[in-house]
Chains A and B, each alone.
Chain A
Amino acid sequence: MKAAVGILAVVALASVPLWLRDPYLMNALITTGIFIIGAMSLNLLLGFTGQLSLGHIAFFGIGAYVSALTSLGFDVGLPFGLRIVHIPWPPIAGFVLAIVVAGFCGYLVGLLSFRVRGAYFVIVTISFAEVVRLVALNWVELTQGPLALTNIPSITVGLPGLGDLTLRTKLQNYYLVLTVAVVTYLLISRLVHSHFGRSMRGLMENETLAVSVGIDVTRTLTLAAVISAGIAGAAGSLYAHYIRIIDPEVFAFINTVTMVIMVITGGKGSLAGPVVGGLIFGLLPVFLRPIMAPEAQWIAYGGVLIVILFILPRGIVPSLALRFAKPPKPIEARAPAAFTERDAKEHA
């Protein structure tokens, strides 16, 4: 039943370019898709471990910059007369490196802050994003600072038997983003249903008890942070190669807030939550644009957020799921052999 809904949703999304010709709407869908991938990665931390990363855009931005620089190449002077010269690599290598570097940053942030957690984690992540933004802004030799990195090449994928395909058009990028989003969704789904996911849930619900049944807090949370950051990095890479220009504004706090809003309205801790929330808040600007000034749109977002959370306080997906929930089927009773024997002897 659940799988059927999922397949139907993917088929519906895959059919969109067949009937939608408006390039502006296609563009909105692609950037929304990229942000949904970011929101899914944020949900892994916020919804399944309870840790709020308010600097999540840092991993996204790092992914974008790493991927862009890998495919553009750079020539940077370092202290002590060292120089690093990097010859451009294919963008697909940038995509992989974006995941690795963002994941490593997630590891560092996790290692530093999960000793304390809660509010401290929020502060560390905000600071981290701000520091990364300042680096991107001021290390002009590497990042061009506010002048932005331009002419970032589009992603080229090698198709077996068909040669190389460079994804330049909106149509191609739409399917690329859709594919990465579906893979991300499946990955996170596997993850949270595995015993690792249960450890995360246990920690969120009752840390003391989780520790006493042998769950390693630091390892679990750090691993979640690495995967979350890696996915955000992948989204950032897609963004860089689609928009083909990035500047330090990508690290703006509002971008993190947008992702948090997507997760909260859709429903944190539910797999489909960020997708639903992301579609709403990603496409809302498209529909508001003809009738509202950009400043007024932000007020409208706030209004929509409040109305949704007022009606469906747990977020859209969990609240609706609860409303339509069927009573669960009972556990099949199986007698544990070791004990029935002993009990039988005692009663005899």
Chain B
Amino acid sequence: MTEAALTVEKVAVHFGGLVALSDMNFSVGEGEIVSLIGPNGAGKTTAFNVVTGFLQPTRGAVSYRGTALNGLKPHQIAGLGLARTFQRTSVFPNDTVYDNLLIGLHRQSRVSFLDSILGLPRARSSERRLRERAGELVEWVGLERRGHDLAGSLSYGEQRLVGVALALAAEPSMLLLDEPVSGMNASETHTFVQLVRNIRDRGVTILLVEHDMPMVMSVSDRIVVLNYGRIIAEGTPDAIRNDPAVIEAYLGQGAARA
């Protein structure tokens, strides 16, 4: 493992009496693809929300490239280069795909408020750059034919792709994908895996939450397994595949003994 980009230390999240996460420790190295897996309710999405600032942990600390994330708001964490996608609400439904990306390129716009009101040349050239960039992103995720359709009218799988493009629009150094291939068929999933590898090859670190085991096994460098809010295993796909604790968590005790 290379130098750690994201470090999660002793994080616990309690919702009233319910312990969603207890004492979670893991780290993601620069340029790694790490997957977070576990049965439903294991705390994967909670972990995601803590890292991206949508939830404050009850205890523990999260840091990214040496900066502590505790107490930061989601848009500030996005500003540090951490971008995420969402399970369900991955698009701005009433805008075209193209406009979605223009919204996503928010952080790339360097013009001041006054410049854009007055329509100064600086604002116009920046606007032109943003439009070009939006076009590139649309094309990169393979949605150029859908560019002028309302994002809300796209299929589930296509909306996922818009979600990824939106996250990439912020030019993140780390991307967190929350169940990105659910709702995709096998060939869409295959294309998506290629896309994820492509993104990593650009130097973007990736943390993935996913239920599709073949996808996780094929794409991950390392896998972290959560169950009942704690980490029960961590290692390479091969090690995880043969880990008795993991098999037990997924299939029950009988299967582990068999």
Contact = CB atoms under 8 A, between A and B. Distances in A.
Do A and B assemble together? yes
Interface in A133-173: none
Interface string B161-174: 00100110110000
Interface stretch (B7-15, B90-98, B237-245, B249-257): B90-98
A215 interface: yes
A108 B103 CA distance: 27
Contact of A339 (B144, B148, B198): B198
B55 to A, nearest CB: 12
Nearest to A218: B73
A85 to B, nearest CB: 36
Given A191-B117, A206-B93, A328-B148, A213 B201 contact: no
Contact of A208 (B89, B117, B118): B89
Contacts of A194: 113, 116-117, 123, 127
Contacts of B113: 194, 196, 223
Contacts of A334: 132, 135-136, 139
B106 A202 contact: yes
B54 interface: yes
B98 A201 contact: no
Interface string B100-133: 0011111101010100111100010001001010
Contacts of B73: 211, 216
Contact of A209 (B91, B107, B132, B148): B91
A342 B148 contact: no
A330 B147 contact: yes
A190 interface: yes
A213 B138 contact: no
A187 interface: yes
A215 B75 contact: yes
Contacts of A211: 54, 73-75, 78
B156 interface: no
A190 B95 contact: no
Contacts of A335: 139
Contact of B144 (A216, A333, A342): A333
B52 interface: yes
B26 interface: no
Interface residues of A, number: 35
**B contact patch SS:** helix
Interface string A275-286: 000000000000
Given A206-B92, A342-B198, A213 B78 contact: yes
A15 interface: no
Interface string B189-207: 0000000001001100000
Interface residues of B, number: 54
A210 B103 contact: yes
B103 A198 contact: yes
Most chain A beta carbons < 10 A, residue from B83, B103, B136, B140:
B103
Interface in A207-243: 208-217, 223
A205 B139 contact: no
B99 interface: yes
A195 B130 contact: yes
Given A187-B117, A331-B138, A209 B90 contact: yes
Contacts of B93: 205-206
B140 A339 contact: yes
B228 interface: no
Contacts of B105: 195
Interface in A79-94: none
Given A205-B94, A213-B169, A330-B147, A198 B135 contact: no
A49 interface: no
A216 B78 CA distance: 10
Nearest to B163: A209
Nearest to A199: B106
Nearest to B113: A196
A213 B167 contact: yes
Interface string A311-336: 00000000000000000111111111
A114 to B, nearest CB: 13
Nearest to B110: A195
A339 B202 CA distance: 10
A196 B170 contact: no
Contacts of A209: 86, 89-92, 163, 166
B79 interface: yes
B136 A201 contact: no
A198 B130 CA distance: 12
- A-B complex: 7 closest residue pairs judged by Cβ atoms: A194-B116, A214-B78, A202-B103, A331-B147, A328-B148, A336-B136, A214-B107
5 contacts: A209-B89, A212-B84, A212-B86, A331-B98, A331-B148
Interface of B: 52, 54, 73-75, 78-79, 83-84, 86, 89-96, 98-99, 102-107, 109, 111, 113, 116-119, 123, 127, 130, 132, 135-136, 138-140, 144-145, 147-148, 163, 166-167, 169-170, 198, 201-202
Given A195-B105, A212-B52, A336-B140, 16 more contacts: A190-B118, A190-B119, A194-B117, A195-B106, A198-B102, A198-B106, A199-B103, A202-B92, A202-B106, A205-B94, A206-B93, A212-B75, A212-B84, A212-B86, A330-B147, A339-B198
